[in-house]
Amino acid sequence: MSKQEWAKGLEIQGIEPPLSLQDFKLIAFDMDSTLVTTECIDEIADVVGKKAEVAAITEAAMQGIITDFKESLRQRVALLKGVTTAQLEQVYNERVQLSPGAQTLIQACQQAGLKTLLVSGGFTFFADRIKAKLGLDFARSNLLEVKDGILTGRVTDQSWGDICDGEEKRRTVLDLASLMGIEPAQVIAVGDGSNDIAMMQAVGVSVAYHAKPRVRAVAKVSINEGGLDRLLEVLKP
């Protein structure tokens, strides 16, 4: 498939826009650098003076240079040992902002009848707050182990598994579609990093948002300029 610039800052491949948003039933979003402007784990690390160390691992994982996301996450979380929940709260309040157009896009999707899912390799501490803020239907992310208000440097297993990596994102999206009684073709997935590729390739419309080159290469829609709401130029409400 060859990419073409459909409008300034918007690239399209494998679809003939405009499409109708109402033809879809579920939209899945990555969180870090997609629904929000930051990489939350890097900002937590900054609080304890380890941002450069953690950000280097994050970037390598998102670029696909480190292919084992689970191991890369464990390495990064280990560096967060000793961070307090009060510091996490500070990071959320002072550093985590919604991406431009996020609210507009989600409201349009909700009005068109789509269910909304946040599926993240980040953490429930942030994902659950973003879910509540945006009124999303579902969220799945990783759970930081906390003892006496302090991070232990480990991730806690949850009922569905240990770490939400690229394969878990894909499985979550497909399982939810199955439970909803819809086809994968009726799903939209939005992300920016290598661990989003598996879910993006499993659905009807994949969207790369200010994404890494590997992600743009596989996405049917690449938003390279402007906010998330630019998707509404391709998928008309």
- Look up tokens 């109708």; give the residue: 20
Cα angle 139, 140, 146; round to 5: 115
Are 12 and 4 spatial neighbours (Cβ–Cβ below 8 Å)?
yes
How many whole angstroms separate alpha carbon 19 and alpha carbon 237?
Answer: 9
* Residues annotated as catalytic (active site), given as ranges: 30, 32
DSSP helix/strand/coil, 68:
coil
Nearest to 41 by CA among 3, 89, 73, 8: 73
Cα angle 153, 137, 144; round to 5: 5
How many whole angstroms separate alpha carbon 56 and alpha carbon 185?
Answer: 35
CA quadruple 211, 70, 57, 151: dihedral positive or negative? positive
For residues 40-68, b (16+ Cβ closer than 10 Å) or e, as one string? bbbbbbbbbebbeebbebbeebbebebee
Are 139 and 127 spatial neighbours (Cβ–Cβ below 8 Å)?
yes
DSSP helix/strand/coil, 21:
helix
